[in-house]
Homo-oligomer: A and B are copies of this chain.
Amino acid sequence: MSEVKNFGDTEASKAADVNLGDAPKKAAPVNMIQSLNWALHDAMEADANVIVFGEEIADPEGGGIVKISSGLSTKYGNRVRSTPISEMGFMGAAVGAAVVGFKPVVEIMLMNFVAVCMDQITNHAAKLRFMSGGQTHVPMVIRTMTGSGFQNGGQHSDFLEAWFCHTPGIKVVMPSNPADGYGLLRSAIDDEDPVLFIEHLNNYWTPGAAPERGKKIPLGKARIHRPGKDVTVIGYSRSMLDIPPVVEKLAKEGIDCEVIDLRTVQPMDMDTILTSVKKTGRAVIVHEACRSFGVGAELSSRIHEALFRELKAPVERVASEDCPVPYAPPLEAAYLYTHAELEASIRKTLA
């Protein structure tokens, strides 16, 4: 049913050569699904304390709705489990197992469903280290996916990273490409603190350079995606698909943008950001989450606070409308920022 737009069933998904659970024959481009699947396989192989659970994630249930956990349960048996629909229950189970040394990787099928288990994430996972005076800690990873553009409507598309960034004790990682996905997920699993790892549906099927198996990317470090001298454009997750074409277009006019992929949203790599903005004197932040009270606000205020005298223009934020994610495609498009808006914002900093 190629005409049915659906998870795992897009043209892009067919284009990419997904090779679940096995090493690539050659370093051909792979997609995020492939690289995250490798990361889970490699992490489970490397550390017997890594366990994986969530709805539908074992092989009899299909290995996850986009097959990111494919092959794991077949290989690692009881360490990999599909759960009942009980996010509070299994999120708490991850907290408990982590407290005694396991490294659970749990999947919340779509990000909006964190709303049924916020308590275990924000009141427990994020706080037990502090409240126990450091006697316990919670080395777990919560993987989840989200994003507009699939007509999934108001309860299946939100980016809620700002809620968790405002919750001290948890880290937030949002990869934008397959190689980063692999390296960041490996580091997130190794990390001694709880990590929320947010994947974007739109990024799953975009081919990218294959990760080097075993190569971990440190958390908390941004990546300079493109050096430039005129304006700093900061993105993460899906916006890293939108920024490059706009920036390349402007480059043809001689506007030289420096593009930074945050990769980790909390803690943010302020060194890299401020070094760049100090140089360019201008900054634009781009995220899919709705604009107000989003990650862009924190980043904007930190840049203004640190570089007020050096800034040549106020920091621009490019983000989605302050409304629930609508269903109909033209409204979904109206919800999300456009390339034209992004271009206009960059130009505005130069005006």
Contacts and interface: CB of A to CB of B under 8 A. Distances in A.
Interface of A: 88, 112-116, 118-119, 121-123, 126-127, 130-131, 153-155, 160, 162-163, 165-166, 168-169, 266, 289-290, 292-298, 300-301, 304-305, 308, 311, 313-317, 321-324, 326-327
A338 B162 CA distance: 26
Contacts of A289: 166
A28 B293 CA distance: 39
27 contacts: A112-B123, A115-B121, A115-B122, A116-B118, A116-B119, A118-B118, A123-B154, A123-B155, A126-B324, A127-B155, A130-B324, A131-B154, A131-B327, A160-B166, A166-B290, A166-B294, A168-B290, A266-B292, A292-B298, A293-B298, A297-B301, A300-B301, A300-B304, A301-B315, A304-B314, A305-B315, A305-B316
Contact of A301 (B296, B313, B323): B296
B130 A119 contact: no
Contacts of A154: 123, 127, 130-131
B315 A304 contact: yes
A99 B266 CA distance: 38
B297 A293 contact: yes
B165 A324 contact: no
A302 B126 CA distance: 29
B324 A314 contact: no
Contacts of A131: 153-155, 324, 327
B308 A313 contact: yes
Nearest to A159: B166
Nearest to A314: B308
B123 A166 contact: no
A313 B306 CA distance: 11
A160 B165 CA distance: 12
Nearest to A305: B314
A305 B292 CA distance: 13
A119 B123 contact: no
A88 B87 CA distance: 14
A326 to B, nearest CB: 7
B118 A292 contact: no
Nearest to A122: B115
